[in-house]
Structure 1
């Protein structure tokens, strides 16, 4: 029973970490705060659209993880989606030199969330074995 609660809690936390950036989709003025990039000047409209779209996709992954926290049949798919999402961001971030401190903060948060997701996945796997 405590394992189920721990899995639920871990997935809820990781889901929340993915949902929170979704605010940028509806409040683009938060882009500078969230990512440390300016949305003023040439090509800012393009950057704003791309980051807002990123926020929507993160929100969808987060909603999937939040649902999976309470619906066990969704867990494997949601955990795979979350791992792919965060893992690819980390791959891109650490393969790119000279990122700003805000982007590196996002990467550190994703490392922590990915670790929690790995613990949840291990518990789900052990429980089903």
Structure 2
């Protein structure tokens, strides 16, 4: 089964955007508060969340780079899928989360689904 290249590229771009959205949290507490909907009550939490924002920005940029650099797709796709799937799994295991985490779970489900065409294309026979 041949997976259309535009579907793979579009999925990578969508997953890249999903991962870039938290990057604005690196700009400070006000951005973090608007992203997550809760107060950042300590410098420790601020540092962790701002660093998280930077890491997601890096992952988002790598996903966007993979749109035009197919050699990046395997490793970047796997890293992004593992990141999103693990967040969903942790949220479901812990439970009791609020609306801010619910939004992130939904965004990660969308991002994970967007990576399916890329994942399937890795197993498709080569184009002849």
Asked if Structure 1 and Structure 2 have the same fold, meaning a TM-score greater than 0.5 normalized by the shorter chain, the answer is yes
5+ residue gaps, structure 2, are none
The answer for the alignment partner of 1:79 in structure 2 is: 77
1:5-56, CA deviations, whole angstroms, 9 ceiling, x for partnerless residues?
221111011101101111101243111221122114xxx2111111001111
Higher helix share: 1
Q: How does 1:19-30 map to 2 (within 5 A)?
A: 19-30=20-31
Structure 2 match to 1:51? 49
Match of 2:111 in 1: 113
What root-mean-square deviation, in Å, do the aligned CA atoms of Structure 1 and Structure 2 show? Answer: 1.9
Matched-pair contact (CA < 8 Å) for 2:8–2:115: no
Give the C-alpha shift of residue 127 in structure 1.
Answer: 5.3
- What TM-score do you get using the length of structure 1 for normalisation? 0.88
Instruction: Work out the CA distance in 1 between the residues paired with 2:27 and 2:107.
Output: 22
Corresponding residue SS for 1:39: coil
Higher mean C-alpha displacement, 70-79 vs 96-105: 96-105
Which runs of 5 or more structure 1 residues have no equivalent in the other structure?
none
Considering Cα pairs closer than 8 Å and 6+ residues apart, tell me whether 1 or 2 has the greater RCO.
Answer: 2
Normalised to the residue count of structure 2, the TM-score between the two structures is 0.89
**Residue 103 of structure 1: CA displacement?**
0.8
